[in-house]
Amino acid sequence: MYQPPSFVLFGPSHKIAIALAFVIPLVTSILVRAWPNESLKRGFRYLFAAILLGIWVSWYYMFYARGWLAIGNALPMNLCDWATAATFIALVTTNQRAYELAYFWALGGTLQGVITPDTPFDFPDVRFIIFFVYHCTIIAGVLYLTLGARMRPYPSSLLRVLGFSFFYMACAGLLDWLLGVNYGFMRHKPDNASLYDIMPAWPWYLPVVVAIGFASMLIYYLPFLLWDVTRKGKTAITEGQTAG
């Protein structure tokens, strides 16, 4: 009987998956900047969106076909699910609100999931492939929108994303309490190794997660803040308030 290989943290396949999440959007962004063409730019957006939707559906099909689908994983209530929806909408429509949610949730949450993945199996197991294609496409899509489509967050984005993040936590926490599940890791820490391992026990790690999330938002906004300051960014900030 086939035994899938056990996942190796920062093993060759893990490193390649992380690298592709950054290399692919960088290459596509260079292409659309070198050859400015709306059809090409839109085509890459739709391609990322199609891969994201296809792999999301594939995940559900695999779990259904193998009898793994359960109340604890069937509902789209992980933060990555919400990041998926925001990223897909932003890729298809270039909506600013969707983009800023995708930007901060992908880099602040999904990236952590890629670095310390919640998967027990390594390449070429299908679960490894689906997990990393799914999560890495979220990151790649957001980076392409930022570097290729030249979208960006603005100061007003921070409060909106913070508000939506608390809304997510409230929804996930209520659902976890009602159904006895663990969406958003609101009831207990992940089973696999992660940043949660160095945090206090439940429930005290929850405020730590909030603090880390807020700090990550500031870190991921910092490049744009420095750019605005360098440009003496009144114009950029004003434009952002209009766009937001």
Q: Running along the chain, 244 residues long, what does each successive block of 10 average in pLDDT?
A: 82 96 97 91 96 94 91 92 96 97 94 86 90 95 96 95 96 95 92 81 92 93 91 54 43
2 in a structural domain: no
Residue 223 falls inside a structural domain: yes
Residue 224: closest CA among 157, 132, 172 = 157
1 occurs within a structural domain: no
Residue 187 — φ and ψ, nearest 5°? -105, -30
Rounded to whole angstroms, how far apart are CA atoms 153 and 113?
22
In the prediction, which pLDDT does 1 show?
64
User: What is the model's pTM?
Assistant: 0.89
What three-state secondary structure class fits 79?
A: helix
pLDDT at 113: 85
* CB distance 183 to 118 below 8 Å: no
Q: What is the structure's pLDDT at 119?
A: 83
pLDDT at 120: 85
Would you state the pLDDT for residue 240? Answer: 52
The 3-state secondary structure of 143-185 reads HHHHHCCCCCCCHHHHHHHHHHHHHHHHHHHHHHHHHCCCHHH
Predicted confidence (pLDDT) per residue in 42-72, tens digit: 999 999 999 999 999 999 999 999 998 999 9
Q: Residue 100's domain spans which residues? A: 12-243
What's the domain count of the chain? Answer: 1
Query: CA nearest 22: which of 181, 128, 135, 166?
Result: 135
Residue 203 forms part of a structural domain:
yes
Phi, psi of 181, rounded to the nearest 5 degrees: -110, -170
Position 213 in a domain = yes
Q: How many CB atoms lie within 10 A of CB 133?
A: 19
Cβ contact 165:100 at 8 Å: no
Give how far the C-alpha of residue 49 lies from the chain's centroid of Cα atoms, to the nearest Å. Answer: 13
The alpha carbon dihedral of 182, 186, 188, 193 has a sign of positive
Give domain status of residue 3, yes or no: no
Please indicate, yes or no, if residue 6 is contained in any of the structural domains: no
In a domain, 4, yes or no: no
Q: Are 79 and 184 in contact (CB under 8 A)?
A: yes
What single DSSP character describes residue 67?
T
pLDDT given at position 88: 97
